[in-house]
Chains A and B, each alone.
Chain A
Amino acid sequence: DAGVIQSPRHEVTEMGQEVTLRCKPISGHDYLFWYRQTMMRGLELLIYFNNNVPIDDSGMPEDRFSAKMPNASFSTLKIQPSEPRDSAVYFCASSLGAQPQHFGDGTRLSIL
């Protein structure tokens, strides 16, 4: 079975550019989570969806961040405009139930 698939695996871009991260959850899972991981702050929940509906976006750092889930098999996390402090590894996870069970391998984002 395919796990959670994230793309791209690596993204390097200049400050001010728009960044779009993509996630395909495991088929049949009803929850999708976006996390950010840094050495300083560890794993932080940004937003999660239940049945494609955003439930809690209180972890989204500011208005530059937005996330969508147009259908059960696809989600995006967008940063516009990007800043160097957004550099981190971004993970998507999906699950049956409210605790994240399966993580993707992440997108390593570097903003120059």
Chain B
Amino acid sequence: TQLLEQSPQFLSIQEGENLTVYCNSSSVFSSLQWYRQEPGEGPVLLVTVVTGGEVKKLKRLTFQFGDARKDSSLHITAAQPGDTGLYLCAGARDNYGQNFVFGPGTRLSVLP
């Protein structure tokens, strides 16, 4: 079983639509990261959230960490084709690098 679950697994939408993807766990995390990975490249870190209830915004992307620090969401407003990619969440269960795990990812396709 995955320590981190992500949903949906696949998402295909039209340019201009809004979307939310989710990252869930039964475990508490000291911090949670979101990455975007494009074909043929490595994951690129988008954001780190550390406080329960924290909300961070990065242009059209809004990241939220759940109050209990077990889940997170990523909301994209007015999606663009350049947002296409694999969105990965990853969590650390302590501050020392142990038990840092990746979710399976949500593969997003934004059609022009």
A interface residue numbers (CB < 8 A to B): 4, 31, 42-43, 45, 48, 50, 55-56, 91, 93, 98-106
> Contacts A98-B92, A99-B33 hold; do A42 and B105 have CB atoms under 8 A apart?
yes
Q: A98-B92, A99-B33 are in contact. Are A55 and B97 (CB under 8 A)?
A: yes
CB of B112 within 8 Å of the partner chain = no
Q: Tell me the total A-B contact number using a CB cutoff of 8 A.
A: 46
Instruction: List the B side residues contacting A50 at CB < 8 Å.
Output: 97
Q: Which residues of B contact A104 (CB under 8 A)?
A: 42
Q: In the assembly, what is the distance between CA of A3 and CA of B48, in Å?
A: 19
Number of interface residues of B (CB under 8 A): 22
Per the bound structure, the CA–CA distance linking A48 and B101 in Å amounts to 13
Contacts of B43 in A (CB 8 A): 43, 91, 103
User: In chain B between 28 and 72, which residues have their CB closer than 8 angstroms to a CB of chain A?
Assistant: 31, 33, 40-45, 48
Q: Which residues of B contact A103 (CB under 8 A)?
A: 42-44
Task: Choose among A31, A42, A99, A100 the residue that contacts B103 (Cβ–Cβ < 8 A).
Answer: A42
**Chain B residues, CB < 8 A from A48:** 97
For A105, what are the chain B residues with a Cβ–Cβ distance below 8 Å? 40-42
29 contacts between A and B (CB under 8 A): A4-B42, A31-B97, A42-B104, A42-B105, A43-B88, A43-B90, A43-B102, A45-B101, A48-B97, A50-B97, A55-B97, A93-B42, A98-B92, A98-B95, A98-B96, A98-B100, A99-B31, A99-B33, A99-B48, A99-B97, A99-B100, A100-B100, A101-B45, A103-B43, A104-B42, A105-B40, A105-B42, A106-B40, A106-B41
